[in-house]
């Protein structure tokens, strides 16, 4: 344009290059839809969704919870949210294969950044996580949380009970039951579902734990489909049993990435051999369309122990399967 200086912005027609420019996490105007951009550059929000604290018109907010001081083995999951976001961008150019629709065509999803808490006051962290989560969901959206160690599910479930009432059912993917008995004032990623059950936050009778392969004699009444059972039966049998347990109750999904075998998810703090394949986990989630999902998290990605980012890649894809479930919930 003649006479235009270096800072002049053209008001001409929007070109294809403008439409597919980088950094949609910052520049996106429309919260719906999937728009391709280079997967190797740009701002790494979850699936290139817009970074925003504004919950107006938002269906689901993605919230990182970079907390890992409740772990009993290898730490490092505080870096999980960043790693999941980074690898999710490699998938952000189209919907995952086999989905009948793009979840982002039905759901307005934003990346709300990370929960803030004072790491120097660890005793206050549970209340701060709960408050951050409730601040989001009380304004309307559902929450997809990226951990962080598995303890974060406890304050997240508390926030959801405040909004939806309780008890909730949990759909819990894990190598560990996380129901070991504990003292009330401890912060531990292996005991929080014991407390959640004892406090009436979750109902074991309508909850199901999938992929368990560590010994804990006291099941507290949770329905368990352990890893050997999943390997020995058709995947449809696992789906049918999980659906029977959950029925039409409000369901909180929590996925510990160590549910997957270490060959599929080495980047985690407490790996256990004999776990699920990525395909098995994806198929179970895909097969549960229609359950009444009200909240979601994926936890325990520790990128320092990962190989070729395969753990965080699996976590990102599983998070998309959860969004697909949420988009298929009965109320939509």
Mean pLDDT of the chain: 90
- 73 vs 16, which has greater pLDDT? 73
- Domain segments of the chain as ranges: 29-327
Decide if 142 contacts 326 (C-beta within 8 A).
Answer: yes
pLDDT at residue 51 greater than cutoff 50: yes
Mean pLDDT of 48-58: 94
Which of helix, strand or coil describes residue 46?
Answer: helix
- C-alpha dist (Å) from residue 18 to 23, 35, 41, 109, 193: 11, 12, 16, 22, 49
Lowest mean pLDDT across 23-27, 140-144, 227-231, 283-287 = 23-27
Residue located via tokens 């060959």: 263
Phi-psi region of 70 (alpha: psi -120 to 50; beta: other; left: phi over 0): alpha
- Judged by average pLDDT, the poorest of 154-158, 173-177, 189-193 is 189-193
Mean pLDDT of 188-204: 91
Residue 125: enclosing H or E segment and its boundaries?
A: helix 125-137
With cut-offs at 50, 70 and 90, classify the pLDDT of residue 6. Answer: very low
Indicate if the pLDDT at residue 111 is higher than 70: yes
Nearest to 112 by CA among 78, 95, 136: 136
In this structure, the number of other CB atoms found within 10 A of the CB of residue 241 comes to 16
Q: Which residue is listed with tokens 């919260």?
A: 31
Are the C-beta atoms of residues 211 and 273 closer than 8 Å to each other? no
Enter the tokens of residue 1.
């344009």
Looking at the chain, the whole-number percentage of residues with pLDDT higher than 70 is 93
pLDDT (mean) for 41-61: 93
Let me know: does 114 contact 51? Beta carbons within 8 Å.
no
Reported pTM: 0.90
Domain spanning 29-327, CATH class:
alpha beta
Whether pLDDT at 14 is above 70? no
Model confidence pLDDT, tens digit, residues 261-311: 999 999 999 999 999 999 999 999 999 999 999 999 999 999 999 999 999
Rounded to 10 degrees, the C-alpha dihedral 251/256/257/258 comes to: -140
Helix (H, G, I), strand (E, B) or coil at 268: coil
pLDDT of 204 above 80: yes
Sheet holding 142-147, edge to edge: 50-51, 109-114, 60-65, 142-147, 292-299, 250-256, 169-173, 208-210, 223-225
pLDDT value, residue 184: 72
Number of separate helices (H) and strands (E) present in the chain: 11, 9
Residue 140 is encoded by which pair of tokens? Answer: 């309307």
Contact between 114 and 46 (Cβ < 8 Å): no
Per-residue confidence (pLDDT) for residue 34, from 0 to 100 = 85
């Amino acid at each position: 344009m003649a006479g235009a200086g270096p800072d002049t912005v053209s008001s001409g027609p929007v070109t294809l290059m403008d439409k597919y420019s980088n950094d949609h996490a910052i520049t996106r105007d429309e919260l719906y839809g999937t728009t391709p951009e280079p997967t190797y550059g740009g701002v790494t929000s979850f699936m290139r969704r817009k970074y925003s604290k504004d919950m107006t018109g938002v269906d689901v907010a993605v919230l990182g919870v970079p907390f890992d001081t409740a772990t009993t083995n290898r730490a490092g999951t505080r870096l999980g949210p960043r790693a999941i976001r980074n690898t999710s961008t490699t998938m952000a150019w189209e919907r995952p294969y086999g989905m009948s629709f793009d979840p982002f065509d039905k759901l307005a999803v934003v990346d709300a950044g990370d929960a803030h808490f004072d790491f120097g006051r660890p005793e206050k962290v549970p209340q701060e996580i709960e408050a951050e989560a409730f601040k989001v969901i009380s304004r309307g959206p559902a929450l997809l949380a990226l951990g962080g160690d598995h303890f974060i599910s406890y304050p997240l479930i508390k926030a959801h009970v405040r909004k939806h009432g309780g008890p909730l059912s949990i759909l819990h993917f894990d190598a560990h039951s996380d129901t070991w008995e504990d003292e009330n004032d401890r912060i531990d990623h292996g005991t929080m579902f014991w407390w959640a059950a004892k406090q009436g936050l979750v109902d074991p009778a309508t909850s199901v734990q999938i992929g368990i392969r560590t010994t804990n004699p006291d099941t507290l009444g949770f329905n368990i489909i352990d890893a050997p059972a999943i390997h020995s039966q058709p995947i449809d049998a696992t789906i049918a049993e999980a659906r029977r347990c959950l029925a039409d109750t409000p369901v909180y999904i929590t996925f510990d990435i160590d549910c997957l075998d270490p060959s599929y998810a080495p980047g985690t703090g407490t790996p256990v051999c004999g776990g699920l394949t990525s395909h098995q986990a994806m198929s179970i989630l895909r097969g549960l369309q229609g359950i009444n999902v009200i909240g979601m998290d994926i936890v325990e990605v520790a990128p320092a122990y990962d190989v070729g980012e395969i753990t965080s890649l699996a976590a990102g894809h599983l998070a998309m399967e959860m969004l697909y479930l949420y988009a298929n919930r009965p109320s939509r």
